[in-house]
Amino acid sequence: MTLTPPVTSADHVQGDDSAPMTLVEFGDYECSFCAAAQDTIKALQWEFGGRLRFVFRNFPLLQIHPDALAAALVAEAAEPDQFWRLHDLMYANPGRLDADNLLAYAREVGVTEDKARAALDGATLSRVQRDIDSGESSRVQGTPAFFVNGRLHEGEWQGQELAHALLHSARAH
């Protein structure tokens, strides 16, 4: 399964576009597995440095995580320089994503209350929906879902398996 659509300038990206390895995560801020995966992602970013580009796309699991959509909406209200701080803050607090906490997290990283409230009211829904549509087109079944250089990673993401997949993919290109 391939990533549809490919990474664009509209995505949330850490790293250089010319990096030989691209890791895309479809995540849900209320998912405990996604929160746990953040340590793995940070370790991969440290290990590979400028050779890795990391991309995050929202994929809130609406049926089982009642606050996931609200968290994604607020995350999308952040400016690019605020997004990753907000992303990390929400993943550090997966059980505390009610509206009051989301507004507090947004304020903490510099998002205005008006902008965060507008996001909760749906102002950023089209951006979140674009990510959801991408996940559905890419056949994402759950979270976290990882794509390595555009291909679905079907193995484990813990330990070194994801690192090995990235290295193998980089050699193949």
Provide the pairing of β-strand 52-58 with 21-27: parallel
Residue 12 parent element (H or E): strand 12-14
**pLDDT score of 158:** 84
Global pTM value? 0.96
Residues shown for the chain: 173
Dump strand ranges (E) for 15-173. Answer: 21-27, 52-58, 145-148, 151-152
Beta-bridge partners for 53:
22
**What CATH number does the domain located at 12-172 have?**
3.40.30.10
The C-alpha R_g of the chain, in whole angstroms, comes to: 15
Of 47, 38, 80, nearest to 167 (Cα)? 47
Give mean pLDDT in consecutive 10-residue pieces for the chain, a chain of 173 residues.
95 96 98 96 96 98 96 97 97 94 98 98 98 98 97 90 92 69
User: In the chain, where are the structural domains located?
Assistant: 12-172
